[in-house]
Chains A and B, each alone.
Chain A
Amino acid sequence: GAVVSQHPSWVICKSGTSVKIECRSLDFQATTMFWYRQFPKQSLMLMATSNEGSKATYEQGVEKDKFLINHASLTLSTLTVTSAHPEDSSFYICSARDLEVGRGYTGELFFGEGSRLTVL
């Protein structure tokens, strides 16, 4: 299957600093990527949909000025957590849809390995 790579896999930062997480589709092009957040023992919560060449679409309750998303190319989306605070500590997961897999209108979503953010 298609591969989605995230970097870094884990990061520790001080409160008030900004952290950038990269999501790359390695062997396919993704016009749309998705960013999820997952707290311990909880489900994945969709944060935003990243659209190549246009603004991201944020879910209700997600601060767009705090979680900056840039989708500059067909294979790269970045999530920047600005002025991070301890409550932003979480597991951030991106996914991308490969329209060529042949699953009809849905396409199959491929997930990255996740990035664990710890804010001290």
Chain B
Amino acid sequence: DQQVKQNSPSLSVQEGRISILNCDYTNSMFDYFLWYKKYPAEGPTFLISISSIKDKNEDGRFTVFLNKSAKHLSLHIVPSQPGDSAVYFCAASGWNTDKLIFGTGTRLQVFP
């Protein structure tokens, strides 16, 4: 029973364009959502987060959107750069726990 789903295992985007990574969740009790980026042979690195009381959070080239009614969040990267090529994990957590529940990841490739 996977509570956080990333249905696209991979995404390929041209440099300079927008990358949109999607994530769906099933548990309405989640109140905090995060995106992590992972390079090969490294651990996940925190990228950006959003609380359930917000619908958008922006940090430089990265913006996360949350649609609670649809139980959906997305990560927008604009403009995409070759260094953004990595696996992106969506994660969620509840208010009373530190436990992060991860999706299976989406591999983003940004080509010149």
The reply to whether chain A is a binding partner of chain B is no
